[in-house]
C-alpha cells in the first residue's frame, strides 16, 4: 500500500477544497469566484491527465495507426495526417469519412480527460443543458 497520497489525489483534494469551501465565500466577488473556478478546473484536468493521460494517448495512437496503416509515436502519426490533410488535392469520400471518424474518436477521448461533462453526441441540442 502506498503511504503517501498520489499527486492526482493531492490535486483533487485541493480542487475540492476550493470548490466546497472557498468559491462560495468569495461569491460576492464574481471575477475572483470565476478565477477560482478556472483554477479548480485546471487542478481537476491536471489530475485526470496524470491518471488517464497515457491511456488516452495510447487510444488516440492506436486509432491513428489503424487509419494510416503505420506504427509510430502519436506525434509522428498526427504530423503525417496533418500533412496529408493540408496537401492532398482530393480525398476519396470513404477515406474522408474514415479520417473524420478517427478524429472525432480521438477528440472524444481527449474530452473525457479535459471536459468530462461535454456532451459528445452528434445532436447534443436534444439535451436541455450542459455544464
**One-character DSSP codes across the chain:** --SSPPHHHHHHHHHHHIIIIITTTTTTSHHHHHHHHHHHHHHHHHHHHHHHHHHHHHHHHHHHHHHHT----HHHHHHHHHHHHHH-S---HHHHHHHHHHHHHHHHHHHHHH-TT---SS-GGGSS---
CB of 22 to other proteins, least distance (A): 14
- Contacts with other proteins, residue ranges (CB under 8 A): 30-31, 34-35, 38-39, 41-42, 45, 75, 78-79, 81-83, 85-86, 99-100, 103-104, 106-108, 110-111, 114-115, 118-120, 122-131
* Cβ nearer to other proteins, comparing 9 with 102: 102
Indicate the residue among 72 and 108 with the shorter CB distance to other proteins. Answer: 108
**Residue 13 vs 27, nearer CB to other proteins:** 27
Amino acid at each position: 500500500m502506498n503511504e503517501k497520497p498520489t499527486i492526482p489525489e493531492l490535486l483533487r483534494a485541493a480542487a475540492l477544497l476550493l470548490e466546497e469551501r472557498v468559491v462560495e465565500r468569495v461569491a460576492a466577488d464574481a471575477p475572483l469566484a470565476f478565477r477560482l473556478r478556472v483554477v479548480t478546473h485546471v487542478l481537476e484536468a491536471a489530475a485526470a491527465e496524470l491518471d488517464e493521460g497515457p491511456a488516452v494517448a495510447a487510444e488516440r495512437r492506436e486509432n491513428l495507426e489503424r487509419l494510416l496503416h503505420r506504427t509510430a509515436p502519436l506525434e509522428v502519426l498526427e504530423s503525417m495526417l496533418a500533412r496529408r490533410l493540408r496537401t492532398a488535392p482530393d480525398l476519396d469520400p470513404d477515406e474522408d469519412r474514415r479520417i473524420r471518424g478517427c478524429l472525432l474518436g480521438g477528440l472524444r477521448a481527449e474530452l473525457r480527460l479535459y471536459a468530462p461533462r461535454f456532451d459528445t453526441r452528434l445532436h447534443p441540442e436534444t439535451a436541455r443543458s450542459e455544464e
